[in-house]
Chains A and B, each alone.
Chain A
C-alpha cells in the first residue's frame, strides 16, 4: 500500500459519487485516471484491505432488527459455541473479548421480530443464556479508519 492507496481509502469511505461513471468522477477528484483507480481498488480488495465497495446500511431505517449480545462461555466449550453462533447467517460479526462475558456478537435481521427468535435458538442449541443489549441511544457511528 502506497500513499495513493492511502489517499483513496481516506477519501472514499463515504461520499462515493452516484452518477453514471462514479469511478471516473472519484478519480478526477483524486487526480487519478479512472482505470488506475479501478485497478488500485481491485488490488486493495484482493489484498483484503477493503471488503467491498458499496453501502453501509442503517439497519433500523431499513426496517430490520439489530442488537449486540454477549455470552459467558466456558473455556472448554468456546470453539463449539462459536461454531454454533457463527452458523447463523444473522450473526454479522463475533469477537472473543477479555471478560467474564467472553463472546460478543452482533445480530442483524430483516425483521425486528427475528432477533428474539435467533437469540432463543442460540440459547436452545448452546444451553447458555444470551444477554441482549440493543442500543437505546446512538451517539456516534463513524467507523472510518485513517489509512
Chain B
C-alpha cells in the first residue's frame, strides 16, 4: 500500500494519539481537511495493510509496574536461529524477538529477546525458565538489564508532510 500525501498528513496528525472525546476521528479530520468517514476509511485501510501494527492504548511499561527489563541474547548457529527464534517468539515471557547481525569481535550474539518483569528477580527467573525449556544452556549467552531509560518517545512519522 502506497501512502499518499493525505495519508502522511493523517499519520502526522495521529502522532500524539487520538483526542479523548466522543468522536476523535472527526477531530483529526478537521485538522487535516478530511471528513470523519474518510479518516475512518484510511485508518482502517492502514491497519488492514499492516502499516498500523495495532491500534489502541500504548502503555508506559515502567509506570505500569514492569520496572525491570532485560535484553537476553544468544549466539545461535545460523542454521538453527530461525527455528529457535520462532519458538522463543511464542513463549509467554518474551515481548519482542528478533534475529540481528553479529558485530564481531564486540558482539557475537544473533538472537535477541526482550523480557519485561515486575522486578529483576522475575526477569531472571523468566530467562532461566526459557533457557531450560528450549535447551539453550550450551549456547553463548548474555543478559543486558537496563539501568537507565533516557528516552521513550516512540517513533514519530509524518514530520515531512506536517512541515509542508
Q: Which of A9-41 contact B (CB under 8 A)?
A: 9, 12-16, 18-24, 34, 38, 41
B136-164: CB near A (< 8 Å → 1, else 0) gives: 00000010111111111111111110000
Instruction: Determine the distance from Cα of A140 to Cα of B82 in the docked complex, in whole angstroms.
Output: 12
Closest to A6 in B: B64
| B100 beta carbon closer than 8 Å to chain A | yes
Residues of B within 8 A of A45 (CB): 20
Q: Determine the main DSSP class of A at the interface with B.
A: mixed
B94 touches A110 (CB 8 A): no
Return chain A residues, CB-CB under 8 Å to B57.
8-9, 12-13, 16, 41, 44, 50, 53
| Pairwise interchain contact B146-A89, C-beta atoms closer than 8 A | no
The answer, yes or no, to whether A108 is at the interface (CB within 8 Å) is yes
Q: Say whether A56 contacts B58, CB under 8 Å.
A: yes
Most buried by B among A8, A52, A98, A142: A52
B71 proximal to A (CB < 8 A): yes
CB-CB nearest in chain A for B154:
A92
Q: When the two chains form their complex, are residues B21 and A38 in contact, meaning their CB atoms are under 8 A apart?
A: yes
B104 CB to closest chain A CB, in angstroms?
10
Residues of chain A within 8 A (CB-CB) of B16 are 52, 54
Asked whether any CB of chain B lies closer than 8 Å to the CB of A97, the reply is yes
List of B residues within 8 angstroms of A44 by Cβ:
57
Interface contact A13-B54, CB-CB below 8 Å: yes
B154 touches which one: A15, A51, A138, A144 (CB < 8 A)? Answer: A51
Q: How far is the CB of B97 from chain A (nearest CB, A)?
A: 4
Bound complex: CA A59 to CA B52 (Å):
9
Contact of A143 with B by CB under 8 A: yes
Most buried by A among B49, B81, B86, B153: B153
Find out whether the CB atom of B155 lies under 8 angstroms from the CB atom of A66: yes
Q: Is A125 located at the chain interface by the 8 A CB criterion?
A: no
Instruction: Check B59 against A93 for contact (C-beta < 8 Å).
Output: no
A77 partner residues in chain B, CB cutoff 8 A: none
Determine which of A34, A89, A99, A142 lies in contact with B95 in the assembled complex, contact meaning CB atoms within 8 Å: A142
Task: Kindly provide the distance from the CB of A140 to the nearest chain B CB, expressed in whole angstroms.
Answer: 3
The 3 nearest A-B residue pairs measured at CB: A140-B89, A52-B17, A139-B89
Interface pairs (5), CB distance under 8 Å: A57-B11, A95-B146, A133-B107, A138-B97, A141-B96
Chain B residues proximal to chain A, CB less than 8 Å: 1, 3, 11, 14, 16-18, 20-26, 36, 40, 43-44, 46-47, 49-61, 63-66, 69, 71, 81-82, 85-86, 88-90, 94-101, 103, 106-107, 112, 116, 142, 144-160
